Amino acid sequence: MALKAYREAGKEREFLDIPDRRFEILYRMADISAIAGDQAAREQYLLLVLTEDPLFGRPGAESPSLKAMLRTIREGKDAEKFFSLYRHQNAVALKACQDLASFYHRDSDGRLDRALPVAVISAVISVSLLEDAIIRTNFEYVYKGFPDILAAGGSRPEILEWADANGIWDSFLLLAAVLYDGGSRSQALSIWSDIARYCPDAVASRKASGELNARK
């Protein structure tokens, strides 16, 4: 009944007082589908969130900008060039990218070809939003590298709370896992190493340390 109600609301989305509520409707339908065990429907609702994001394109036909991001992360010896070059501000797409990356990587027989593009977008959105959050409390902040922005994320309690609530650290951890399993191991190890050493969130730091220790 809930899914039917949201579908009807989705059909009338052009009459919504707040247009971005259409994304909230899609997320709710994705969550209901997950509870019902319908992973295929959940995937489709999450993909619909990304249809208006020009960076994403579509599965198997990524945008030129996303293809450039994928080349950069695959060809680098570490992830520093990737994090220094790219920004993307589509906050509404963050959860869809995180959930899809996790689904493709862990819950869907390791579809790494699908997991990497959305993991890359979620990491780029996360670093962009983290940078914005830091600048709002420190107007003089200038990005100096991935370790630096991780450490700066602990400068204020409200930034830490926001980052945890929005899965910012998890975006980076998931990107590293997808990269490692896809063969880009030096890049993955560099991300885990930076998180283990510099991330102000103790849980994320321990997870990264655990991943490093498991691969020694």
pLDDT at 185: 95
Q: Are residues 20 and 42 in the same domain?
A: yes
Range of the domain at 21: 1-51
Q: Are residues 205 and 130 in the same domain?
A: yes
Residue 180 covered by a domain: yes
**pLDDT score, position 141:** 95
Does 182 reside within a domain?
yes
What six digits make up the tokens of 191? 């991300």
Q: Specify the pLDDT at position 184.
A: 95
Q: Same domain for 39 and 138? A: no
Same domain, 29 and 127: no
Residue 56 lies in a domain: no
Domains of the chain: total: 2
Same domain, 32 and 90: no
pLDDT at 6: 52
Q: Which amino acid is at 161?
A: E
Task: Say if residues 170 and 102 touch (Cβ distance below 8 Å).
Answer: no
**24 and 70, same domain (yes or no):** no
Q: Which of 128, 117, 102 is nearest to 71 (CA)?
A: 117
CA distances from 210 to 49, 109, 204 (A): 33, 23, 10
Q: Is residue 67 part of a domain?
A: yes
Cα–Cα distance for residue pair 103/82, rounded to 1 Å: 23
In a domain, 12, yes or no: yes
Residues of the chain short of pLDDT 50, as ranges, are 12, 15-18
Tens digit of pLDDT for each residue in 77-130? 899 999 999 999 999 999 999 999 999 998 766 689 999 999 999 999 999 999
What is the model's pLDDT at position 24?
86
Same domain flag for 131 and 38 = no
Specify whether 47 is located in the same domain as 71.
no
Asked whether the CA dihedral 55, 79, 106, 153 is positive or negative, the reply is negative
**DSSP-based three-state secondary structure for 60:** coil
57 falls within a domain: no
Residues 126 and 198 occupy one common structural domain: yes
Mapped onto helix, strand or coil, the DSSP state of residue 157 is helix
Within a domain: 208: yes
Q: Please check whether residues 24 and 125 belong to one and the same domain.
A: no
Residues 8 and 112 in one domain: no
- Whether residues 96 and 189 share a domain: the answer is yes
Of 90, 120, 125, nearest to 182 (Cα)? Answer: 120
165 domain-assigned: yes
What is the model's pLDDT at position 22? Answer: 79
